[in-house]
Structure 1
Amino acid sequence: MQTLSERAAAEDCGQHYFLFTAIETTEKEKVEETGKQLQSFAAQFNLPFSFNVLYIPDLKHLKAEQVEIKADEAVVIHASFALRAMISKLLELENSSTHYTMRSDDQHRASIEAGSVLDGIRNIVAAEGRERVTRSVSLQVWRDFFGSYTPGSWTELVGGTNLRDYKVPKTTIILLIGTKGCGKSSLVNKISDVFESERFTPQRARVSLNPSVGGCTCFAHGYKIPSSAKSFCVYDAQSLSYNQSENENMLKHWMTNGVCHEESFIWCHAQKAYYLPIVARPINFVVFVVNAVSVLESMEGRDETEKRYTRVVSKAFNSPLLSFKDDRPVVVVTHGDLLSVSERVRVRVHSGDLLGIHPKNQIFDIPESNDCATKLAILDMLHYCLDHADQNLPLKGLFPSLFLQHISLLWLMALLLWLYALMRVYIYLDRILREHILK
């Protein structure tokens, strides 16, 4: 909506009026509530906008005149999931097609059918195997997909490199970073729930109900995902504080020395860390967790005290220690279920501007809910992390390979010299023998 408002303001003809018609078959009340939230959000940008709900329990009764399209209106149709489920319902599919929404002689109809619709239909109906990229699969398929992952398996080998040229870890380590109460432990449990097939699985990470009075994470805990696998592990570590120097030292320790299971930091005035003598694991990627409610409060804050949350987040996120080559951490926004839809959008856009990352590709909205959209966001986030972790694996040092090459060259030169000396001895002995025979 912000883009539409800016585009309309830039045109000489003034602002356009936007009418949104939602065709609903089951939950009319929820759609109407969504429409009210969208109208409230559009009002913030002074965007002329109205929302209309067309309740039709059976789509075979849908008629074009019910939408009330005027002659001077431009129509955009979005039905990314509705039409694909109607292959077996030919009458409903016919009623919902472009035949009833666009005239047969419309100049745009041919381009839409050939460009946007034809490839999808052809891929669903005719393609098989790897060529079929459009499909609907169950959650178990995604579990199997991540279950087949091994560290380094998604690395793009370019420039003549092989996987053995990289420092491939036995387990890919993903570190969760965030302030107290941002929802890191809850995120661990939500990730685990996606991969656990049993319905009633106990929570693996302890969640604090009121972090302000204590009980937050003080020890680093590693959680294998899923619990029976060893391919990748999510670490929930000590929370960031409002002390920038302490945060910098803590990030430096993690990113330089690695993270240990059950590691605890006790920062004294000398800024020294005491931790258990366990083998540290190098971190392969970072997930930065932020609280949507805290971001919104900081956005609307009037003094510096109220705005300090976003300052802490921005300072820690932009630390060069958290970057892997050109890749910066992925951001997970939690507690969005406590906000309206418009507020969640504002938080996401503001976070992208604040941190300098794309709000759609690198920021994932994962609220405290257990619906399919949340599970999909978790899977997308994990895929992003594992893919970028594999793409940023460090190369092994060049010294051992160069040393071996030099040793091999020296051995070859020594062998050639030995053969040359042997040949000279043979020639000398042959000449002596011939002179002896002639005498």
Structure 2
Amino acid sequence: MTTTKTKDIAKTIVILCTLDTKAVETAYLKNQIEARDCNTLVFDLGTRGNPGMVSDITREEIYKLGNPGETLITTENRVKLGEIMTTGAATKLKALYKEGKIKGVIGIGGATNSLMETNIMRTLPFGVPKLMVCSVAASQGLASRYFGTSDIAILHSVIDFTGSNELIRDILDRAAGSIVGMVEKLNGIGPDKNFGAGGYVAMTQLSMCERTANFVRTRLEEEGHQIIGFSATGVADKAMEELIIEEGMFKAVIDLAPGGVGEELFGGTRAAGKERLEAAGIKGIPQIIAPCAVNLMTPARSKYKPDYYERKRYDLDSLRTFLRLNSQELGVVARVMAEKLNASKGPVKFLMPMKGWASFDTEGMAIYEPEADKIFVEEFKRLAGKHIEVIEVNANIDEPEFGEAIIKAFKELINSAESALVGGGCG
């Protein structure tokens, strides 16, 4: 049963917790948030012992939402039970947000709770405050799963949640202040908030095409465009695809660094998912594509194949080594990219720099191999549909000449799209 609150719901914060194990900590956090003039809604995700305090959204309600028609049954299958509770809580959280009844969410817990609670938080769109207070936030193999592709903030408590002591109270004081501060700075973000009403421009980049990215961003911002950057290292560019599909906040994409496509094919660390390079096409928005680092891959050292040790390479730093794709691999990537872009409902321009695809991919460098890159160019041109314009630019990707070409292509596509809107109709 849901408890009726008397406070103004304008600043209501959801607390995700397990009241069979963390009731004391939850009660303290709840009091600290409410002392800062915010309302709370406590979700009880516990499934084993009895709850140590009264919740607003009970475990029974959550369970039924995740597994309609059933009642809560204690089971040893914790994985299945966790999935049901995650689904139910996410359903409830999304409904409350769409009704305008909540403004943020906070969770507390260790490894298991953090995985479940951050999965629930990802139900909420970009811009809604999400804070996970996690005792094991730095654990290898878990940290990236907590964040995923969502704008979740994580407070590493370091100490575990084991009741009430001075250090735990200090952590929860800071957590309460943090989530309340986020909510107070929202300026009206909610279901009625329309990010990108005027249309943002998404742009991917890497350090090896950073000068071009900065050049393009500066010029276009001077002309009134808002450029939203994404580092194409496998997570942010994947998040970009999701934002394009789910939020609809972009009017165009300048995809300087779509190398996540090849990394996904060959198991590199910049792999960005099987849907990479598809979202803009599905939405029908203009795309300007460039191949920054598309001719390179970054496999984990533990997964090196014997021939990898013989390849041309570039050590960007002590952690990242880029290996050259061979001719066969370049052909495969060209075919996959062409297939993805051929399905686009909107216009596409693919700009090919003919003097290197990275700032360090230049004449005199061991990794420089323009003849191999031509294999990609020719294969892509052979397969590209008629709505895809391939433009060869006699420059390195990180030179001003290439930046100018990107800006020219962008203006042509945007002007064409705007003209179509003005002149179009329902027929």
Q: Shared fold (TM-score greater than 0.5)?
A: no
Choose between structure 1 and 2: higher strand proportion: 2
- Asked which structure has the greater RCO (Cα within 8 Å, sep 6+), the reply is 1
Which structure shows the bigger proportion of residues in helix conformation? 1
> Could you tell me the TM-score, scaled by structure 1's length?
0.30
Rg larger in 1 or in 2?
1
